[in-house]
Homo-oligomer: A and B are copies of this chain.
Amino acid sequence: MAHPALAKEEVVARLMKVFRREGYEGASLSRLSEATGLGRSSLYHHFPRGKEDMAAAVLDLARARLGPLVLEPLAGPGPVRARLEAMARGYAEFYEEGHASCLTELFGIGTAGEQFIPRLTQSSDHLIGAIATALVETGMAEPRARQRAEDALIAIQGALVLSRARNTTAPFHRILAELPDRLLG
């Protein structure tokens, strides 16, 4: 049959799982093939430049997921504090309650990861912009809002790192719980 075994989005979701578990360098075509149920050649049919293209698709999917989980709650109606709390819940879900690594760790490490830096920059731009916009709504001055937004990303990513180093998700959950207060000052 010439029919797709899986919807492309489902394929990419399965690739994401492998990259999250193994990192970009550690994810081998064998594992990626096994996880998707697609043979090597089928993977190359969908992703002509191989692992590179698969990683790019995974980063695109990550960005797509951050929309409903983080960006939309931030932009949506309601009081700013409630929106920041919704954002924190979105982050918790996106990072699998603190068990996942942040994307920069997975894709931005080493010379092989340099090609993905522009995508990571773009994602952090969007997130910082969205948080800052919400803070400005409360009357906060733009520069301070942007700095606090940057601090939020720093705290989230740092908490993920420490959570892995210490084998507990406690730092991640603590930081998320504190996030609205930290942002609103």
Interface set of A (CB-CB < 8 Å, partner B)? 21-23, 25-26, 101-102, 104-106, 108-113, 117, 120-121, 123-124, 150, 153-159, 161-162, 164-167, 171, 175
Contacts and interface: CB of A to CB of B under 8 A. Distances in A.
A120 B121 CA distance: 27
Nearest to A19: B110
Given A22-B111, A23-B25, A109-B109, 16 more contacts: A21-B110, A23-B109, A23-B113, A102-B161, A104-B165, A105-B105, A105-B109, A105-B161, A106-B109, A108-B164, A120-B165, A153-B158, A154-B154, A154-B158, A156-B158, A157-B158
B162 A157 contact: yes
Give the dominant DSSP class at A's interface: helix
Copies in the complex: 2
B162 A161 contact: no
Contacts of A112: 22, 26
A110 B22 contact: yes
A124 B155 contact: no
A28 to B, nearest CB: 10
A124 B109 CA distance: 21
A104 to B, nearest CB: 5
A159 B161 contact: no
Contacts of A102: 161
Contacts of A155: 154-155, 158
